[in-house]
Amino acid sequence: MKGLLIKDLLWWRTNVAQIAVLAALVVCYSCSDARIFGYLFTCLITVAVFIGTATADVEGNSARQTFTMPFTRRQFVAEKYLTCLAMPALVGAVLFTLAAVLPAAPWLDGATAQTGENWSQATLFFLVALAGIVLMTAVGLPLGIRFGQGGRYIMATVFALAFLAAWAVIETTGDSFAGELAGLVRRQSALSGVLCAVVLLALLTGSYALSLHWIKRVEF
């Protein structure tokens, strides 16, 4: 497991461009009035990049040599799930804490810069981000393992459609999306949260089983 983590870490270090893009995204969103939404988006992009390491490992020129190294295919899959879930979650935790603690950019409307409001907003969006991360990992990793680079395109299409749908919802609700969501959750609160968590967990378990099934069938 340790070796796999180091391998992925090295991958990140040598793909500075990816980190730069993410950092740029963060900065851009921080200066806009949609920063919280932007941070959510950034987390999801991070997941996509981690799924990218999975496809590179399984499909690339280095696949054969890599899989002679001392790890089982089960460990490989487990490590991918770990990094795809934990790393973006960590990024999210950092970003949303910053969102709650730091005031909004000075040229923005002061109304959105209330610290108390920000904490609950930030927490809310963090939970939404976590759900998004789990969803993306659950759908994206098996696809990436099964279809390699092709899987990423399938996944990108699926999520593009999902974002479009979400956008449509936001447009039609008219009011601030954050307010709507906050209201919705406050109304349903605990039960809906638990239900959500259970569904996501089930999805993740199924996804893990599928990934394991598919990785065992790959011939390097």
Partner 1 sequence: MITLDHVTKNYGHFALDVTMTVPEGTITAMVGPNGSGKSTTFRIILGLVAPDSGTATVLGEPAGLLDETTKRRIGAAFSDSNYPDNLNVRQVATMLAGFYPAFNADLFFSLANRMALPDKKKIKDFSTGMAAKLKVVAAVSHHPQLLVLDEPTAGLDVLARDAILDLLREFMETPGHSILVSSHNSRDIASLCDDLYLIDDGAIRLHETIDAIGSDYGVIQATRSEAATLDDEYLLARVPTLDGFRILTSQRQYYAENWPALPIDKADIDDVVALMARSERHVADSQPNS
Residues that bind partner 1 (CB under 8 A): 2-3, 5-7, 10-11, 13-15, 56, 60-72, 75, 219-220
Residue placing its CB nearer to partner 1 in the complex, 56 or 134 = 56
At what angle are helices 73-101 and 115-147 packed, to 10 degrees?
Answer: 160
CB of 72 to partner 1, least distance (A): 6
CB of 155 to partner 1, least distance (A): 22
CB of 8 to partner 1, least distance (A): 10
Residues in Cβ contact with 201 at an 8 Å cutoff, skipping those fewer than 6 apart: none
Using an 8 Å Cβ cutoff, are 106 and 31 in contact? no
Residue placing its CB nearer to partner 1 in the complex, 32 or 149 = 149
Residue placing its CB nearer to partner 1 in the complex, 30 or 66 = 66
CB of 86 to partner 1, least distance (A): 18
CB of 151 to partner 1, least distance (A): 19
Closest-CA residue to 103 (of 93, 92, 118): 118
CB of 64 to partner 1, least distance (A): 4
Using an 8 Å Cβ cutoff, are 112 and 104 in contact? yes
Residue placing its CB nearer to partner 1 in the complex, 68 or 172 = 68
* Burial degree of 133 (CB within 10 A; 0-12, 13-18, 19+): buried
Residue placing its CB nearer to partner 1 in the complex, 35 or 80 = 80
* Coil, helix or strand at residue 217: coil
Using an 8 Å Cβ cutoff, are 127 and 39 in contact? no
Using an 8 Å Cβ cutoff, are 118 and 57 in contact? no
Give CA–CA dist 54/57, Å, rounded.
5
Residue placing its CB nearer to partner 1 in the complex, 66 or 97 = 66
